[in-house]
Structure 1
Amino acid sequence: MRCWAAAALASCTQDTPQDAASASSPASPSAAPADNADQAEQAASEPTEEPALPAEPAPEAVRDAFATLQATLNDTCTPGAGDCAYFLGRVTQELTELDEAMRADPKGPGHFKQPLADMRTLFTKLGTDRSTPHLEKHFSAIVTTRDDINTWMQAPPDDYR
Structure 2
Amino acid sequence: MRIPRPVRVASLVALPAALLISCSSVDGAEPGGVTDSPTAAAAPASPTAADEAPTADAATVMPTPGPEKVPDAFAGLQATLDDSCTTEGNCAYVLGRVYDELEGLDAAMKADPKGPGHFPEPIAWIGELHKTIGADRSYPNLKKHEAELLGTRDRINVWMQDHPDDYR
TM-score bracket, shorter-length normalisation: 0.5 to 0.7
* Contact 2:70 2:166 survives alignment (8 Å): no
TM-score (norm 1): 0.63
Equivalent of 2:159 in 145, 152, 156:
152
- What is the CA deviation profile of residues 53-86 of structure 1, one whole-angstrom value per residue up to 9, with x for unaligned ones? 53x421000000000100000111058x453110
Distance 2:162 2:123 in 1: 16
Structure-2 residue corresponding to 1:62: 70
The alignment partner of 1:83 has SS state of: helix
Deviation of 1:124 (Å): 1.0
1:113 has 2:102 as partner: no
Structure with the bigger percentage of helix = 2
Structure-2 residue corresponding to 1:140: 147
Gaps of 5+ in 1: 1-27, 30-49
1:96 has 2:99 as partner: no
Distance 1:156 1:98, change over 3 A: closer
* Count of residue pairs brought into register by the alignment: 114
One-letter amino acid of the structure 2 residue matched with residue 73 of structure 1: L
> In terms of Rg, which structure is larger?
2
Q: Name the % identity.
A: 58
TM-score (norm 2): 0.60
Distance 1:72 1:157 in 2: 19
* Bigger mean CA deviation after superposition, 151-160 or 91-100: 151-160
Deviation of 1:160 (Å): 1.6
